[in-house]
Amino acid sequence: MSKEDELNSSQRQQGAKDMSTQLTQADVARLLHEPSPLIRAEVAGKIAQEIDNPNLTDKELTLIHDIVRIMAKDVETQVRQALSYSLRYAAGLPHDVALKLANDIEIVALPVLEHSTVLTDSDLVEIIRGGSHSKQEAIAVRPNVSENVADELITSASEKAVTKLMSNVTARIADVSMNKAVTRFEGSDVVKEAMVMREKLPVTVAERLVTMVSEQLRDHLVSHHELSSAVASDIILRSSERAIINMSTGSSTLEIEKLVAQMYSKKRLTPSIVIRALCMGDIAFFESAVAIMANVPLLNARILLHDAGRLGLKTLYEKAGLPANLFPAVRMAMAVVHETELDGSPHGMERYRARVLERVLTQFEDFNEMSQDDLDYLLEKLSVVSTLSSDGSQTTIN
């Protein structure tokens, strides 16, 4: 036998010796008859230190398992609570004991439900279906919640539990379950906010949430999730509209600058979105977008964009790296914006957009240079705003 083998053998023997001095048959007998629940609770902690010991003999491991099974039935809540807390991370905890503790009252069950890897997905699903809200919430914050468990929480659990699930960055949630959550919790702001704040969100879910959440969360959806150009453009236009309406305060202009900066940092500030915004008459967003893309201060960018000689526009456009083939459309849109006055009537914004869109689409002849998606989008918006009646009865852009 090598020196290393002798050392390992000696360590195993020492571990067995230590174990035998800690938990003898006499100790077990004393434990079972110990009147003090405090002493029995302390023993639970000692057992937790030994149950995963690789040096235990089969006999010693069986002894420990027998003890924890007895303690899991202890009439004193304090003892069962101590056992659950002490063994919440134990890989060697017998499955039947883990399940018994998980089905106990909340104060006993929660540590095991939140942490124990011994519990199976089937165990957790059954507890979600028949458990209390507190138990559902404990399961929702477990590390690495599986797709099956997540789906059951979304199907059966409380609003608070589902909110915690959505905030659990390690939880794996299938696309179909995400869509189910949107449907079930359509009226819950806390669930929807937690969904929006997830690092990754299915595109289908993000686009459904757009119409359901606050303006601030819409901005976050644009800057952090993969939305279609059309949906992203519509959100941007709503943001720009707020800026124009509240221009006197300056606060909404700052909001647009912040939104543009977020989109740029996340590589969401595409040429398509920027040019669509301009063609819809949203000059505030266009100015901020071109400024950040060209790395030019906003005030300087505004001077260049509105240069009467148009040299400034071309220079800034090129510096921003926008498509050269669409520059004629941008130049036309800027000219129309300068010529089209935004009045202060209740529906002035809709009329303004209708005039800008119509003139851009009728005066820009080289539509072959524009992508079909961009052209379809602008034509669709033109058809919507053009239905505005003379008294301004239609006030929204779909």
Q: State the angle between helix axes of 189-196 and 215-224 in degrees (0 to 180), rounded to the nearest 10.
A: 20
CA atoms within 13 A on the CB side of 251: 2
Q: What band does 36 get if pLDDT is binned at 50, 70 and 90?
A: confident
Mean pLDDT, the chain, as a whole number?
Answer: 77
Residue 188 in tokens? 């819950």
Per-residue model confidence (pLDDT) at position 371: 56
Q: What is the pLDDT of residues 77-122, one digit of tens each?
A: 988 998 999 999 999 999 999 999 999 999 999 999 999 999 999 9
Q: What is the pLDDT of residues 138-182, one digit of tens each?
A: 999 999 999 999 999 999 999 999 999 999 999 999 989 999 999
Per-residue model confidence (pLDDT) at position 14: 41
Whether the CB-CB separation of 188 and 215 falls below 8 Å is answered with: no
Please tell me which residue, 311 or 276, carries the higher pLDDT value: 311
Dihedral through CA 306, CA 308, CA 309, CA 313, nearest 10? 10
Say what the pTM is. Answer: 0.61
Q: What band does 373 get if pLDDT is binned at 50, 70 and 90?
A: low
Residue 223 in tokens? 């800057």
**Matching residue, tokens 């969401």:** 268
Q: Which residues contact 183 (CB under 8 A, 6 or more apart)?
A: none
CA distances from 389 to 195, 238, 380, 384 (A): 39, 21, 17, 11
Dihedral through CA 109, CA 112, CA 115, CA 118, nearest 10? -140
Distance, in Å, from the CA atom of 176 to the CA atom of 182, rounded to the nearest integer, reads: 10
Residue 232 in tokens? 């992203």
Distance, in Å, from the CA atom of 293 to the CA atom of 257, rounded to the nearest integer, reads: 12
Q: How many residues does the chain have?
A: 398
Residue 374 in tokens? 């961009």
Mean pLDDT along residues 261-282: 78
